[in-house]
Amino acid sequence: MLGAGGERMKICVYGPGAIGGHLAARLAQGAAVSGAEVSLVARGATLAAIRDRGLIVRVADGDIRCRPRAAERAEELGPQDAVVVTTKVPALPGVAAGIGPLLREDTTVAFVVNGIPWWYFDRDPSPSGGPRDGRRVPEADPGDAVRRAVGVARTLGGVIYSASNVAEPGVIEVSSRTSKLILGEPDGTRSDRAVALAAAFKAGGLPCSVSPDIRTEMWGKLLNNLSNGPVCLLTRRHMQATFADPVVREAALRAVHEGLAIAAAHGRPVPGDPADRINLSAGLAHKPSILQDLEAGRPMEIDSLFAAPLRLAREAGVPTPMLSLLVALAMQAAEGAGLYPAGG
């Protein structure tokens, strides 16, 4: 797999936390097949651990151990063919400030993040897309920092299903037996760059597809976030324990139905049985990432995961009594922990 000038394809993962670490390890594991040259932008204890002993990812069929090049500053790595951004949304302004040295005009930047993405209304091929083209999502990119630094032309969307957590710096545990990554162009085309990046992940054993409708894929993942994130924040327990209570389970199911109505009102009906989503979550002894952030004292993705969908609901006139209640309580929990500003 060749990059610019016929050289090995250079791929940098920006932010090797739970998800980024898993993705980086898959890319590194497949490098012998794909020919990709994999690197990371990391900091602090994570950077020190990866430099000292490499990156370790514990998956169902054994450990993945690799030693990708790791740097604190993008300047140390230079221009890349592709950058995979996996930081939490509150960290994106920092990414915008630091990503420049990794970028050429033709560098692909895949944003594998939760919630409504900053580019959601750009290059939308659906009938409702044209009149809304270029609309901003301030919850995901306040001040347009990412838009200015990266631009829509370089951007790919990404959705990841992987129940992962950081066991210690440089060590990732993946509790789901299967994981998958979905990539997609904002305009729905099946581009060479999306296909090439997907092939690099598949070479490392991670199922990865290119979707013609990445926004619907994002809504599918967001429905999971909306159903399990707020309730687990309130219970402070993993999903299996939380959903053992039938009353909580029913509340989450109502939240899924309301989320489906929001997605459909914005031209993205999501297929599947809502109860299946709850059943899948109920089988995992895994804490959602937003609860992991609360427990670790990290900034939380309240705005992009919860506030943005509710704003879209109000714009479309979709009633969301259960979601609004759960999100309001989740916001109070985050405010009480000092991880979200009072009053949103």
**Which are the catalytic amino acids?**
221
* Cα distances (Å, whole numbers) of residue 246 to 208, 230, 251, 323: 34, 16, 9, 17
What is d(CA 184, CA 325) in angstroms, rounded to the nearest whole number?
33
